[in-house]
């Protein structure tokens, strides 16, 4: 983690400095970020998911998971390896303590209503 | 980079009426229409082919990873290579300041080799492309002549038909292909990937890529805003037999990211820097590359304008079908009835780029009108889509809302639809809203599916509608 920290600081600086640049409205530099833009926290993203592939890779805003896609439940970390589900869906994941500490409690997005009826 | 570019555009040179001649390729003058017009004010003669240093790098199924260099003046290099006259041949030509050994060219070859057995030749003319823009746009003529010479050699020495040749050119490379096609009539196909605008747009057809340069010319426009002042690098008028304008042809989705996010790209800093300089312009070859592995993911809808396409007036595809943008555009070769027809479509914002267009019509049921948005997700035999917003505003029961969605998945036969509404506000009366009927029309073939629902749901609850 020690190696990531300076990188993160640099990134945070880069994200905070450019207010001098004229930012076109609708999309922002720190909040309201589009999909594919670098983020540190899910709250920054329009989609509500700041996603990274591994502990060392940079995080970017990504769309939330659709039904039958892999997901993780909402966590306090603010950055996800698998995005949370879209509205109306629940992430059917193992909610044990180990998973939520290592941020690796993955599951599948399911519709709580349709699974009761059809299966 | 930008500075050099603009400088190059305006630097005027006084030399006039000169001519240079090279072995095999003939003479090149700087008279009209090559120089001295308002479109091409600077007089420049093309460089010697030795100085441009053109290389042909061959990839085949026998050597998909490592290229073999072949030379039109030394037949032994062709004989000893994996070049096979029973296959079709595709040339890929890069553009300004680019390099024939750049990954996108060999990656495109690899993708082609995964779907078909071809001779894929990357043309490297980086020495001639890494100079002033005015010089590079004249070097185009020599590179085009070299490719034409190469095809002539194949014709004479190997009885290879030029109809089996396809030249894919990006930016200045598109005009290289045009020049080659003009010198060697009868070339089967030329694909122009965002042909360069400065020094070519508005010039006579002998200078630039045109539909007369090959039996079939298809063009993808991704950066067609004017160079001054918008810095668009690609041509806007339709110049081929069919011209595609993905996302309207001017601004590509995924190209308006903040500079840090753009440069620090998923595919590395180099790819990110390239996109930072010319994201829209480079999208053209990315779409083409994706189209090789997604044959039905880039359908072009014939339309008078992008605005009309977006509003849905050109939906669905006509009975004869829509042309596929990119690699499979030649399937539409004989179906095109009009001159300079424009086709529109939308693409994704990052790879993978293909999208499938559907028309969705929703009739609401409920008691009270509420403010909010409606989301729809499609479910079919081949998968399901994300939720796509189809309306935002006041939702009135028994009103009908129509919208078009570009789904990231081709769901195949639509089997059910899910409906969700939300107003992002806690409403103490807990209003309920539902969809009475939803019809889904597939853009590709116009097939309609109808779904009904009787229940009503609270916000953020999915309602499933089944076929009826």
Residue B428 contacts A where some CB pair is shorter than 8 Å: no
Q: At what angle do helices B133-158 and B172-183 cross, to 10 degrees?
A: 40
B176 or A9, greater pLDDT: B176
* Per-position DSSP letters for B35-76, written without gaps between them: SSSSSS-S--PPPPHHHHT-EEEEE-SSSSSS-EEEBTTBHH
Kindly write down the DSSP assignment for every residue of B267-281, as one continuous string: TBHHHHHHHHHHHHH
pLDDT tens-place string over residues B9-54: 444 444 457 899 999 999 999 988 999 999 999 999 999 999 999 9
**Measured between alpha carbons, how far is B396 from B266 in angstroms, rounded to an integer?**
43
For residue range A53-101, list pLDDT tens digits in order.
Answer: 887 888 999 999 999 999 988 887 889 999 999 999 998 887 776 766 6
Q: Does B461 touch chain A (CB under 8 A)?
A: yes
A33, A36, A114: residue with CB nearest B254: A36
Query: Which tens digits make up the pLDDT trace of B110-121?
Result: 999 999 999 999
Q: What does the block give as tokens for B435?
A: 């969809």
Q: How confident is the model at residue B107 (pLDDT cuts 50, 70, 90)?
A: very high
Element (H, E) at B217: strand B216-220
* Interval B279-333: pLDDT, tens: 999 999 999 999 999 999 999 999 999 999 999 999 999 998 999 999 999 998 8
Q: Judge whether residue B262 has pLDDT over 90.
A: no
Residue B424's pLDDT is what? 72
Mean pLDDT, rounded, for B348-377: 93
Write down the catalytic residue from B35, B72, B171, B291: B171
In chain B, the residue whose alpha carbon lies closest to the alpha carbon of A113 is B462
Sheet strands (E) in B148-211: 165-170, 189-193
Q: What is the pLDDT of residues B410-460, one digit of tens each?
A: 999 999 999 999 987 777 888 899 999 999 999 999 999 999 999 999 989
3-state helix, strand, coil in chain B (%, to 5): 25, 30, 45
Residue B2: is its pLDDT beyond 90?
Answer: no
pLDDT band with cut points at 50, 70 and 90 for residue A27 = low
Q: What is the mean pLDDT of residues B184-203?
A: 95
Judging contacts by C-beta atoms under 8 Å, the chain A residues touching residue B379 are: 67
- Give the per-residue pLDDT at B407: 96
| CB-count burial class (<10 Å; 0-12, 13-18, 19+) for B59 | buried
Over residues B150-190, the pLDDT tens digits come to 999 999 999 999 999 999 999 999 999 999 999 999 999 99
Q: Are A71 and A108 in contact (CB under 8 A)?
A: yes
Q: What is the mean pLDDT of chain A?
A: 75
pLDDT of residue B16: 53
Q: Does A12 touch chain B (CB under 8 A)?
A: no
User: Which chain A residue lies closest to B262 (C-alpha atoms)?
Assistant: A37
Among A27, A29, A87, beta carbon nearest to B387: A87
* Among A15-19, A52-56, B204-208, the range of highest mean pLDDT: B204-208
CA dihedral B285, B289, B295, B297 (to 10 degrees): -60
CA of A93: how far to CAs of A51, A114, B132, B169, in Å?
18, 17, 58, 49
**E strand residue ranges, A27-95:** 50-51, 60-61, 70-71, 90-93
CA A42 to chain centre: 5
Q: Which two tokens stand for residue B140?
A: 């185009």
pLDDT exceeds 90 at position B339? no
* Cα–Cα nearest to B363, from B456, B264, B226: B456
How does pLDDT run across B119-128, given as a tens digit for each residue? 999 999 999 9
Tell me which of B248-252, B262-266, B272-276 is least confident. Answer: B262-266
Give the global pTM.
Answer: 0.89
Of B79, B27, B26, B77, the residue nearest B56 (C-alpha) = B77
B138: enclosing H helix or E strand: helix B133-158
Average predicted confidence (pLDDT) for chain B: 91
- Test B259 with A24 for CB contact under 8 angstroms: no
- Chain A interface includes B225 (CB < 8 A): no
């Amino acid at each position: 983690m020690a190696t990531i920290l300076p990188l993160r600081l640099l990134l945070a600086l880069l994200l905070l400095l450019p207010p001098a640049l004229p930012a076109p409205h609708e999309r922002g530099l720190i909040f309201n970020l589009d999909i594919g833009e670098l983020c540190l926290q899910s709250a920054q993203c329009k989609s509500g998911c700041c996603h990274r592939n591994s502990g060392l890779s940079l995080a970017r805003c990504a769309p939330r998971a659709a039904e039958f896609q892999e997901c993780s439940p909402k966590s306090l970390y603010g950055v996800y390896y698998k995005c949370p589900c879209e509205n109306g869906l629940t992430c059917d994941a193992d909610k044990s303590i180990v998973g939520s500490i290592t941020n690796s409690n993955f599951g599948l997005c399911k519709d709580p209503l349709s699974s009761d009826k059809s299966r | 980079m930008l500075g050099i570019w603009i400088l190059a555009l305006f630097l005027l040179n006084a030399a006039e009426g000169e001519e240079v001649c090279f072995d095999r390729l003939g003479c090149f003058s700087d008279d009209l229409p090559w120089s001295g017009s308002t479109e091409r004010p600077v007089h420049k003669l093309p460089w010697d082919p030795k100085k441009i240093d053109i290389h042909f790098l061959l990839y085949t199924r026998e050597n998909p990873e490592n290229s073999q260099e072949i030379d039109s003046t030394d037949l032994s290099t062709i004989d000893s290579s994996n070049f096979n006259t029973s296959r079709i041949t595709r040339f890929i030509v890069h553009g300004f300041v680019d390099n024939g050994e750049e990954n996108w060219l060999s990656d495109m070859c690899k993708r082609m080799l995964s779907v078909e057995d071809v001779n894929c030749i990357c043309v490297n003319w980086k020495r001639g492309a890494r100079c002033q823009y005015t010089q590079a746009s004249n070097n185009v003529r020599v590179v085009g002549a070299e490719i034409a010479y190469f095809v002539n050699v194949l014709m004479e020495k190997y009885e290879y038909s030029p109809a089996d040749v396809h030249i894919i050119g990006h930016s200045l490379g598109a005009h290289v292909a045009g020049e080659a096609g003009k010198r060697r009539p009868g070339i089967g196909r030329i694909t122009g990937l965002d042909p360069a605008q400065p020094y070519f747009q508005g010039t006579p057809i002998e200078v630039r890529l045109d539909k007369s340069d090959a039996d079939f010319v298809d063009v993808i426009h991704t950066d067609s805003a004017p160079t001054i002042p918008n810095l668009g690098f690609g041509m806007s008028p339709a110049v081929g037999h069919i011209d595609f304008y993905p996302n309207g042809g001017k601004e590509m989705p995924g190209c308006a990211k903040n500079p840090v996010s753009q440069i620090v790209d998923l595919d590395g800093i180099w790819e990110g820097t390239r996109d930072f300089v010319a994201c829209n312009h480079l999208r053209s070859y990315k779409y083409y590359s994706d189209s090789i592995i997604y044959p039905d993911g880039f359908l072009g809808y014939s339309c008078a304008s992008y605005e009309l396409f977006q509003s849905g007036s050109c939906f669905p595809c006509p009975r004869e079908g829509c042309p596929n943008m990119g690699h499979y555009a030649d399937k539409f070769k004989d179906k095109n009835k009009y001159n300079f027809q424009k086709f529109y479509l939308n693409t994704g914002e990052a790879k993978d780029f293909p999208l499938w267009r559907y028309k969705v019509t929703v009739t609401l049921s409920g008691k009270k009108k509420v403010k909010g948005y409606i989301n729809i997700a499609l479910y079919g035999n081949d998968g399901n889509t994300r939720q796509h917003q189809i309306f935002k505003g006041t939702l009135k029961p028994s009103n009908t809302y129509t919208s078009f969605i570009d789904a990231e998945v081709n769901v195949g036969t639509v089997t059910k639809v899910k409906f969700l509404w939300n107003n992002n506000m806690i409403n103490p009366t807990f209003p309920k809203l539902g969809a009475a009927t939803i019809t889904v029309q597939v853009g590709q073939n116009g097939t309609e599916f109808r779904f009904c629902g009787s229940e009503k749901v609270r916000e953020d609850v999915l309602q499933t509608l089944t076929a009826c």
